[in-house]
């Protein structure tokens, strides 16, 4: 506080002490949450400790009070033996008087005997000594117990009287460390020791008390004392040997510490290390080899959950215990839940309880709670199935043969009327995969029994039959006529062992059974089973228009459940077995229903066998793939192309082009364009996959059927294919002025040039590769050849832009511009003419009057005149120049002309110059100049030319 009205010093307000009292500073307040964390942890520990002490002291006070009262009653009787008894003296005198009177009557002289002095017996001394000590110890325990209760109340009061977390935390730490420094733990532990010693003194004094009274009774109490001591010692020693024993005495801690002073003998006896107290050792031991106990705990928990409503927290906890946050499962926790899955009692089996829970569709009347409970239930089931499937296979023949999931569970899941199809679909697939694993394991076990060496044939058949009876034909839940036949044959062979007719041919039965089992173990049969599971998994998702929860994880888990190369098409399956892979054969394969992640799985399943192109609906399936690829969004298409590492999309397209089996060539042509975009054909560098596909397309184009040639976009597809190959060879054929670095694309140049410019021979490499001059000349010639191909392809794109006036821009115009940008070389006259004619065709469509979004408008207004940003030096042909001049005039003379575009004027100037330069040459050769109307540009150009000639003269 400021004195005499002065202002308070702001720096002093943040001091930790004011007037000798602590005051939290702003820095202390900033640690509010940290101190709260400490308080929450410390108070929890202290409260448990104080409560245990308080309850111990309450019992101690009650017992010591009753015990002291009983002991006092015994002492009241025993202390009399320590002094002379007046009644006994009177009795002695009366005895002497009666004897004296009797002697006097007989005339006998009587001599008076002095009474002997009193001395307490040894047994009385011992008895009273022990009992008084016992009473003193009992009362001392009562007093100390009262003190402990008072001290604990004071401890709690001191640590909670200030609300500030900083103050409270520091008081708590100060008090607790003082409690430890003064050994209050030892003090509290001493109180029951004193009470136990008092009890020993009581029983010992009781033996001494009874010795002069009754020897048999004394012997009985001595036996009780011995038994009491023996039991007490046993209770003290048992926890030292068995850490899980519930028995313990205050002597146990003393013995534990004493034994461990000998180089930690007792701790090492239990396989532990460190300086541990008895309680700490018990806790540490409880954490070792706990799997069996954990299983018993789970079984006990299931027994206590009598109602389905009580199962929901268990369902919620299972995924947390089973699934790993890094993906996969926690195999270490398998034993924890294995007993719950394997239990033969329905009430103790988590699978049976889940099945019943699903069959009644939850237990809550509230729809929201019902959905929540069912979600927990299905998540638990899916987690257990993942754990069982990913569990390593056991090869021990003594292992229990059983299916982890009952067959009825599949029926319950299949008919479950719930909206949670996204959870049910993967659950069914994973349960089926687990059952398939069990079925294969049983078949393998049968094969193992049949191949046991040094085992009689009948015993082999008996063991195999025992394993076979764990299976049923109902477990074969996929379509496979071959597998079912072999399964039935094996059953019949194993049954023959009990027939008298086969007793002399048991070895033949073993060989026959081995042959059948080897056929059942064929990888193709198990691949067919996986196809069935995956086909149903995807079909259910498509039918219900849902994306299964953790779809990719489910897919990979099912594939990993069998040790075979699933996508190896050389692994043959039968025709009926392959039917499940044709999930594509449905009209519901649409981007709005099937997400690209699922579509990729459907596509992979279709190509998992070599029968995808041989069944009657394969053409329809390919059309569905092509339509999906074309109709999906750009990001979806890019994802599909990236994920399709096996190039199945290309196979669908090329198959239709080669065989002409397609039912809709339009989708095939559209898919080619979509795939080119998905493979990023506008990228600077052509990817190897894109190059391979374009090369295959290029080879097929001349041979495709007329149905493809009649498609509207087929010319554009041809041009785009040629452009991709042209870009690739342009990038590979890096040309400098002096040398050719890479000659590898020459074959592609010959092929593409032969199709685009059949009348122009390709420049061949020089015969003398050492000649710098020849290499330089050839580099210029080959560059002219390649750039001419670029212009030829551009002409095709210009024509294609007129096919769809309202469509998107066709062609990689940025890439084409880059190839011609400021090109100063020459181009073949025939290619120039082709380019000029394509411009004239474009102008005839009046593209500048079309919407700006149209392809023709974008080509004419934004791109075609930017192909050369200098003076169009590669235009040298007179006929081409005249055509371009006429095309530009049509644009300028149009009623809706709004000005020249980009470098259109530069192109016109170049063409006019070529025309004017050619007129004198035509006159000298006697050729008639072409009659045409002279435009303003030509007039200006002629006047400038005349002026220049005059200046020269």
Mean pLDDT of 722-747: 71
User: Tokens standing for 149?
Assistant: 């209760």
Kindly state the DSSP code that residue 307 receives in the 8-state scheme.
Answer: S
Question: Is the predicted pLDDT of residue 39 greater than 70, yes or no?
Answer: no
Tell me how far apart the alpha carbons of residues 381 and 420 are, in angstroms, rounded to a whole number: 13
Question: Is the predicted pLDDT of residue 355 greater than 50, yes or no?
Answer: yes
- What confidence tier does 113 reach under pLDDT thresholds 50, 70, 90? low
Q: What is the pLDDT of residue 739?
A: 45
The pLDDT tens digits of the residues spanning 836-866 come to 999 999 999 888 888 888 888 888 888 888 8
Least confident among 237-251, 601-615, 710-724: 237-251
Question: Does any domain span residue 67?
Answer: no
Tokens 């809550």 — which residue?
Answer: 364
The β-bridge partners of 323 are 329
Tokens 């009193």 — which residue?
Answer: 118
Mean pLDDT of 633-637: 92
**What percent of the chain clears pLDDT 70, i.e. is strictly above it?**
81
Q: What is the pLDDT of residue 836?
A: 94
User: Tokens standing for 698?
Assistant: 């290029």
- What confidence tier does 424 reach under pLDDT thresholds 50, 70, 90? very high
Among residues 601, 653, 597, which one has the least CA distance to residue 625?
A: 653
Question: Does any domain span residue 403?
Answer: yes
Q: What is the pLDDT of residue 436?
A: 94
| Phi, psi angles (nearest 5°) of residue 17 | -125, 140
Task: Please report which helix (H) or strand (E) contains residue 17, including its range.
Answer: strand 17-18
Least confident among 105-114, 184-193, 567-576: 105-114
User: Tokens standing for 20?
Assistant: 């000798």
- What confidence tier does 428 reach under pLDDT thresholds 50, 70, 90? very high
Q: Tell me which range, 689-698, 730-739, 854-863, 921-930, is most confidently predicted by mean pLDDT.
A: 689-698
The pLDDT tens digits of the residues spanning 73-84 come to 777 766 666 655
Among residues 239, 253, 141, which one has the least CA distance to residue 194?
A: 141
3-state secondary structure of 687: coil
pTM of the entire structure?
A: 0.75
Question: Is the predicted pLDDT of residue 928 greater than 60, yes or no?
Answer: no
- What confidence tier does 926 reach under pLDDT thresholds 50, 70, 90? low
Residue predicted with more confidence, 912 or 397: 912
Residue predicted with more confidence, 631 or 415: 631
- What confidence tier does 737 reach under pLDDT thresholds 50, 70, 90? very low
Question: Does any domain span residue 842?
Answer: yes
93-118 burial: b if 16+ Cβ within 10 Å, else e:
eeeeeeeeeeeeeeeeeeeeeeeeee
Q: Tell me which range, 367-376, 703-712, 876-885, is most confidently predicted by mean pLDDT.
A: 876-885
Tell me how far apart the alpha carbons of residues 137 and 150 are, in angstroms, rounded to a whole number: 20
Decide which of 446, 472, 498 is a domain's last residue: 472
Query: Range of 378's domain?
Result: 291-472
Question: Is the predicted pLDDT of residue 890 greater than 70, yes or no?
Answer: yes
The pLDDT tens digits of the residues spanning 868-878 come to 766 788 899 99
346: CB partners within 8 A, 6+ apart: 352, 353
- Largest pairwise CA distance in the chain: 207
Question: Is the predicted pLDDT of residue 219 greater than 60, yes or no?
Answer: yes
Mean pLDDT of 581-605: 92
Question: Does any domain span residue 862?
Answer: yes
741: CB partners within 8 A, 6+ apart: 734, 735
**What percent of the chain clears pLDDT 90, i.e. is strictly above it?**
28
Residue predicted with more confidence, 758 or 305: 758
The pLDDT tens digits of the residues spanning 127-170 come to 878 877 888 888 888 888 887 777 777 776 666 666 566 666 76
Question: Is the predicted pLDDT of residue 95 greater than 80, yes or no?
Answer: no
762: CB partners within 8 A, 6+ apart: 746, 749, 750, 753, 754, 782, 785
Decide which of 472, 489, 520 is a domain's last residue: 472
Mean pLDDT of 568-582: 90
Mean pLDDT of 525-530: 94
Domain count, the chain: 2
Q: What is the pLDDT of residue 111?
A: 61
Residue predicted with more confidence, 177 or 680: 680
Tell me how far apart the alpha carbons of residues 267 and 258 are, in angstroms, rounded to a whole number: 11
Tell me how far apart the alpha carbons of residues 748 and 732 are, in angstroms, rounded to a whole number: 11
Least confident among 188-197, 535-544, 786-795: 188-197
Question: Does any domain span residue 269?
Answer: no
Question: Is the predicted pLDDT of residue 284 greater than 60, yes or no?
Answer: yes
Among residues 863, 799, 876, 864, which one has the least CA distance to residue 832?
A: 876
Question: Does any domain span residue 301?
Answer: yes
CB 266 within 8 A of CB 259: yes
Question: Does any domain span residue 525?
Answer: no
Q: Is 768 exposed, middle or buried (0-12, 13-18, 19+ CB in 10 A)?
A: exposed
Question: Is the predicted pLDDT of residue 951 greater than 80, yes or no?
Answer: no
Question: Is the predicted pLDDT of residue 740 greater than 80, yes or no?
Answer: no
User: To the nearest whole number, what is the mean pLDDT of the chain?
Assistant: 80
Q: What is the pLDDT of residue 886?
A: 94
Residue predicted with more confidence, 919 or 948: 919
Among residues 575, 586, 641, 580, which one has the least CA distance to residue 610?
A: 575
Question: Does any domain span residue 427?
Answer: yes
CB 626 within 8 A of CB 655: no
Q: What is the pLDDT of residue 490?
A: 92
Tell me how far apart the alpha carbons of residues 210 and 121 are, in angstroms, rounded to a whole number: 13
Decide which of 413, 437, 472 is a domain's last residue: 472
Q: What is the pLDDT of residue 774?
A: 74
Question: Is the predicted pLDDT of residue 178 greater than 90, yes or no?
Answer: no
Q: What is the pLDDT of residue 644?
A: 94
Q: What is the pLDDT of residue 735?
A: 47
Tell me how far apart the alpha carbons of residues 523 and 699 are, in angstroms, rounded to a whole number: 38
User: Tokens standing for 80?
Assistant: 């009399």
């Amino acid at each position: 506080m400021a004195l005499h009205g002065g202002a308070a010093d702001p720096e002093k307000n943040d001091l930790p002490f004011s007037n000798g009292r602590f005051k939290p500073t702003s820095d202390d307040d900033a640690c509010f949450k940290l101190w709260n964390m400490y308080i929450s942890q410390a108070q929890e520990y202290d409260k448990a400790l104080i409560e245990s002490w308080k309850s111990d002291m309450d019992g101690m006070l009650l017992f010591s009070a009753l015990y002291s009262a009983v002991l006092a009653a015994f002492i009241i009787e025993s202390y009399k033996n320590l002094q002379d008894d007046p009644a006994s003296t009177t009795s002695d005198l009366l005895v002497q008087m009666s004897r004296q009177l009797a002697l006097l009557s007989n005339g006998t002289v009587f001599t008076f005997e002095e009474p002997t002095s009193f001395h307490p017996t040894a047994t009385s001394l011992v008895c009273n000594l022990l009992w008084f000590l016992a009473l003193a110890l009992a009362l001392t325990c009562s007093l100390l117990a009262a003190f402990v209760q008072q001290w604990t109340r004071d401890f709690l009061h001191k640590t909670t009287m200030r609300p500030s977390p900083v103050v409270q935390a520091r008081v708590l730490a100060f008090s607790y460390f003082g409690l430890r420094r003064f050994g209050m733990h030892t003090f509290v532990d001493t109180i029951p020791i004193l009470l136990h010693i008092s009890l020993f003194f009581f029983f010992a004094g009781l033996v001494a008390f009874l010795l002069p009274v009754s020897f048999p009774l004394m012997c009985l109490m001595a036996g009780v004392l011995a038994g009491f001591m023996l039991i007490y010692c046993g209770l003290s020693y048992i926890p030292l040997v068995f850490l899980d024993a519930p028995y313990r005495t205050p002597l146990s801690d003393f013995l534990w510490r004493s034994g461990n002073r000998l180089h930690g003998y007792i701790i090492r006896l239990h396989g532990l290390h460190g300086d541990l107290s008895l309680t700490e050792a018990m806790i540490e031991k409880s954490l070792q080899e706990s799997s069996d106990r954990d299983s018993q705990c789970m079984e006990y928990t299931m027994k206590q959950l009598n109602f389905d409503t009580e199962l929901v927290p268990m369902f919620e906890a299972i995924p947390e215990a089973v699934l790993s946050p890094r993906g996969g499962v926690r195999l270490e926790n398998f034993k924890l839940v294995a007993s719950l899955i394997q239990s033969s009692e329905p009430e103790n089996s988590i699978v049976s309880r889940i099945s019943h829970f699903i069959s009644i569709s939850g237990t809550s009347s509230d729809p929201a709670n019902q959905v929540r409970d069912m979600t927990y239930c299905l998540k638990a089931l899916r987690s257990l199935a993942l754990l069982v499937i990913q569990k390593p296979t056991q090869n021990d023949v003594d292992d229990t043969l059983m299916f982890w999931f009952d067959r009825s569970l599949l029926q319950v899941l299949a008919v479950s009327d719930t909206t949670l199809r996204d959870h049910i679909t993967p659950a069914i697939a994973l349960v089926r995969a687990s059952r398939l694993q069990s079925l294969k394991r049983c078949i393998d076990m049968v094969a193992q029994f049949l191949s046991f060496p040094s085992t009689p044939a009948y015993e082999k058949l008996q063991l195999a039959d025992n394993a076979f009876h764990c299976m049923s034909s109902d477990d074969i839940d996929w379509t496979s006529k071959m597998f079912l036949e072999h399964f039935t044959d094996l059953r019949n062979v194993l049954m023959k062992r009990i027939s008298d007719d086969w007793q002399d041919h048991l070895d033949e039965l073993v060989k026959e059974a081995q042959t059948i089992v080897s056929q059942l173990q064929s990888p193709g049969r198990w691949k067919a089973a996986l196809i069935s599971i995956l086909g149903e998994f995807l079909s259910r998702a498509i039918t219900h228009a849902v994306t299964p929860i953790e779809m990719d994880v489910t897919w990979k888990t099912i594939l990993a459940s069998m040790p075979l190369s699933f996508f190896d098409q050389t692994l043959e399956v039968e025709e009926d077995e392959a039917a499940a892979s044709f999930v594509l054969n449905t009209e519901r394969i649409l981007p709005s229903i099937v997400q690209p992640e699922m579509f990729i799985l459907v596509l992979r399943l279709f190509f998992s066998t070599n029968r995808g192109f041989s069944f009657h609906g394969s053409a329809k399936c390919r059309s569905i793939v092509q339509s999906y690829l074309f109709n999906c969004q750009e990001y979806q298409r890019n994802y599909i192309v990236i994920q399709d590492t096996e190039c199945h999309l290309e196979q669908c397209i090329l198959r239709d082009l080669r065989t002409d089996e397609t039912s809709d060539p339009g989708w095939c042509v559209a898919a080619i364009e979509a795939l080119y975009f998905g493979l990023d054909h506008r990228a600077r560098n052509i990817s190897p996959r894109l190059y391979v596909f374009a090369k295959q397309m290029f080879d097929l184009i001349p041979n495709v059927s007329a149905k493809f040639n009649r498609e509207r976009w087929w010319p554009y597809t041809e041009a785009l294919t040629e452009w991709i190959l042209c870009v690739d060879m342009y990038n590979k054929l890096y040309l400098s002025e002096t040398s050719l670095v890479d000659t590898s694309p020459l074959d592609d140049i010959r092929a593409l040039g032969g199709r685009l410019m059949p009348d122009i021979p390709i420049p061949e490499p020089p015969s003398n590769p050492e000649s710098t001059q020849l290499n330089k000349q050839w580099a210029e010639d080959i560059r002219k050849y390649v750039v001419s191909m670029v212009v030829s392809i551009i002409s095709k794109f210009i024509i294609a832009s007129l096919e769809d006036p309202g469509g998107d821009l066709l062609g990689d115009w940025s890439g084409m511009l880059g190839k011609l940008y400021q090109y100063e070389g020459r181009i073949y006259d025939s290619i120039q003419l082709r380019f000029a004619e394509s411009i004239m065709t474009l102008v005839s469509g009046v593209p500048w009057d079309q919407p700006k979004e149209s392809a023709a408008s974008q080509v004419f207004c934004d791109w075609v005149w930017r192909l050369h940003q200098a003076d169009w030096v590669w235009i040298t042909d007179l006929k081409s120049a005249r055509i371009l001049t006429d095309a530009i005039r049509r644009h300028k003379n149009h009623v809706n002309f709004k000005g020249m575009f980009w470098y259109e004027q530069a192109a016109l100037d170049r063409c006019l110059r070529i025309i004017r330069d050619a007129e004198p040459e035509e006159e000298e050769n006697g050729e008639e100049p072409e009659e045409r109307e002279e435009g303003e540009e030509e007039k200006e150009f002629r006047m400038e030319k005349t002026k220049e000639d005059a200046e020269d003269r």
